[in-house]
């Protein structure tokens, strides 16, 4: 039997999936690693830990799948976007991986917005001005850590680092390059204005290649460890967001992909690069004639985790003792509360926010609390707030790509019947849930199969996504949401004027109690 491997380099873990040629998952490995947050707004990873997770994952699925010599046709990659690593002249990291969630460059993002350069850059890079962007991180490093910046000979992302360790060559696919803010989506090359502003030269960046580009000649030591023959092609693949669209078969115009994992996103595929006049949406390359337009959100499943840990810690402890899923307990509790949580609204901005408001200083809030509200109302409101936020992103996408015809949903939330129904009710549309949850890894494999000539085009994915379950909107529920959504949206605008003030206070008066609790 022939196989392909999809590797998905995520923010908190690397997932490696062995697929057969029909898209069936044969073996799976998920290797987590910590997110380092040593100081306010920091969010870093250790590149060596991620590389080890990749090697361990490849080794595990090769063993689990009992893959024999000649059966593995290729390995293809998906990767989280916006990561940055500075490398020295000996090709050793000068920094950890600075992730999309790192907000330390907020000041420089605001300066770019204020002086108009941010909108200029957005118009030809398709990347909104935000601390997530490596472009903004580079400006921050140049100004605040100049000694490290000057030592750097290469500026790369996490997938570039992994492939360099395996092949000794710095290469970056158009899709991930597009997400750096340094890439011109109209010339398909590094952007001259972005290079000038950051002070980075072309020879300090990886070689630009297609997502279908192949690497061969795997380092012998890693071939021996993983069991993957040295001549096995490794295909570049693309970014996790664009590949998620592919992996859920949301690649035709008008098919909206909604993903909620740790973070989340709403995306649609168009046939040429387009930009939002107000700079609120990204435009990222997928493959020939396919660009993904959408908005990423910081606050997805990570908010649900906060609700569990901070508001439902007794239930969490009980679930652990009983060896049951604590999140399922919480969704069951929330399901007993009517749609709209009896007028309790929640803004889920616990980690700042990207789309739809692009404000790294945004903060979360409950609104409408009364003595009649309970913890159950709060968990329901938190889940609804996450989906309200995604709905706002969808409204922006409508402005540049038209009203969606259908919705394909994926991510960890897709396992929850309550969240799936919420999505259908709030969006007032049928929501289709493909059977395959590892959409980015599957998307990477489809790109790899096209690169290898095994398939002619990406449309074959429609036969690989498995059974699709559909949730239809509940008329009674969306009647409540129609009343509440305008209030939620107006509140978003009204609160925005105070986010900077409260964020400044929090930075000046750090939460020592929380710090002590973490150390304990």
Q: What is the mean pLDDT of residues 225-253?
A: 96
Q: Does residue 22 carry a pLDDT above 70? A: yes
Which of the pair, 218 or 519, is modelled with greater confidence?
218
375-390 residues labelled b (16+ CB within 10 A) or e (exposed) = ebbbbbbbbbbbbbbb
Q: Does residue 513 carry a pLDDT above 60? A: no
393-420 residues labelled b (16+ CB within 10 A) or e (exposed) = bbebbeebbeebeebbbbbbbbebebbb
| pLDDT value of residue 280 | 95
- Worst-scoring range by mean pLDDT, 310-314, 422-426, 468-472? 468-472
Which residues, at least 6 apart from 180, have a Cβ–Cβ distance to it below 8 Å?
Answer: 82, 84, 127, 133, 134, 135, 157
Band (pLDDT 50/70/90 cuts) for residue 468 is confident
Q: What is the mean pLDDT of residues 110-135?
A: 96
Between CA 65 and CA 19 the distance in angstroms is 9
**Burial, 16: exposed, middle or buried (Cβ in 10 Å; 0-12, 13-18, 19+)?**
buried
> Two tokens at 512?
């020592």
Q: What is the mean pLDDT of residues 10-29?
A: 95
Q: Note if the bond before 356 is cis, omega within 30 degrees.
A: yes
Q: Does residue 519 carry a pLDDT above 50? A: no
Name the pTM for this structure. 0.90
> Two tokens at 380?
């329901």
Domains of the chain: 1-240 (3.30.420.40), 245-296+406-469 (3.30.420.40), 301-402+476-506 (3.30.420.40)
Q: Does residue 403 carry a pLDDT above 70? A: yes
Across all residues in the chain, what is the average pLDDT?
A: 94
| pLDDT value of residue 437 | 67
Q: Does residue 518 carry a pLDDT above 50? A: no
Q: Does residue 484 carry a pLDDT above 60? A: yes
Q: In 3-state terms, what secondary structure has residue 253?
A: coil
Which of the pair, 40 or 243, is modelled with greater confidence?
243
């Amino acid at each position: 039997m022939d196989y392909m491997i999809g590797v998905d380099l995520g923010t908190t873990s690397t997932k490696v999936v062995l697929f057969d040629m029909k898209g069936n998952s044969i073996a799976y490995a998920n290797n987590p690693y910590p997110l380092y947050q040593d100081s306010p707004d920091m969010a870093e990873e250790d590149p060596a830990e991620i590389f080890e997770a990749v090697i361990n994952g490849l080794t595990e699925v090769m063993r689990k799948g009992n893959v024999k010599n000649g059966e593995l046709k290729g390995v293809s990659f998906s990767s989280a976007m916006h990561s940055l690593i500075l490398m020295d002249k000996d090709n050793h990291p000068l920094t950890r991986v600075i992730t999309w969630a790192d907000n330390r460059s907020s000041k420089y993002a605001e300066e770019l917005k204020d002086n108009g350069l941010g909108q200029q850059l957005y118009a030809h890079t398709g990347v909104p001005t935000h601390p997530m962007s490596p472009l903004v991180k580079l400006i921050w490093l140049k100004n605040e850590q100049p000694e490290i910046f000057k030592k750097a000979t290469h500026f790369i992302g996490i997938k570039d680092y992994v492939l360099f360790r395996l092949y000794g060559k710095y290469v970056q696919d158009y899709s991930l390059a597009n997400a750096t803010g340094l890439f011109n989506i109209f010339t398909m090359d590094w952007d001259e204005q972005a290079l000038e502003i950051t002070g980075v030269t072309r020879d300090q960046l990886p070689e630009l290649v297609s997502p279908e580009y192949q690497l061969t000649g795997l380092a012998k030591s890693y071939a021996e460890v993983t069991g993957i023959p040295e001549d096995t092609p490794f295909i570049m693949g693309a970014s996790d967001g664009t590949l998620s669209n592919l992996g859920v078969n949301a690649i035709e115009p008008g098919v909206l992909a909604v993903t909620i994992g740790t973070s989340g996103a709403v995306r649609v595929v168009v046939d040429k690069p387009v930009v939002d006049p107000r700079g609120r949406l990204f435009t990222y390359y997928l493959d020939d004639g396919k660009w993904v337009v959408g908005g990423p959100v910081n606050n997805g499943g990570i908010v649900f985790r906060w609700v569990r840990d901070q508001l439902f810690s007794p239930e969490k402890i009980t679930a652990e003792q009983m060896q049951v899923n604590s999140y399922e307990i919480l969704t069951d509790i929330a399901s007993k509360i009517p749609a709209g949580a009896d007028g309790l609204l929640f803004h889920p901005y616990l980690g700042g926010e990207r789309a739809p408001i692009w404000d790294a200083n945004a903060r979360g809030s409950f609104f409408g609390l009364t003595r009649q509200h309970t913890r159950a109302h709060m968990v329901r409101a938190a889940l609804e707030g996450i989906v309200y936020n995604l709905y706002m992103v969808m409204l922006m996408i409508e402005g540049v790509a038209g009203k969606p015809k259908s919705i394909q949903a994926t991510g960890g939330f897709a396992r929850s019947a309550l969240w799936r129904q919420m999505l259908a009710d709030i969006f007032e549309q049928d929501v289709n849930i493909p059977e395959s949850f590892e959409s980015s890894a599957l998307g990477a494999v489809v790109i790899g199969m096209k690169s290898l000539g095994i398939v002619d085009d990406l449309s074959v994915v429609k036969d690989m996504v498995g059974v699709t379950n559909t949730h239809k909107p509940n008329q009674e529920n969306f009647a409540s949401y129609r009343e509440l959504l305008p209030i939620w949206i107006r509140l978003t605008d009204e609160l925005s004027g105070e986010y900077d003030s409260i964020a400044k206070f929090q930075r000046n008066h750090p939460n020592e109690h929380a710090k002590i609790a973490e150390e304990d």
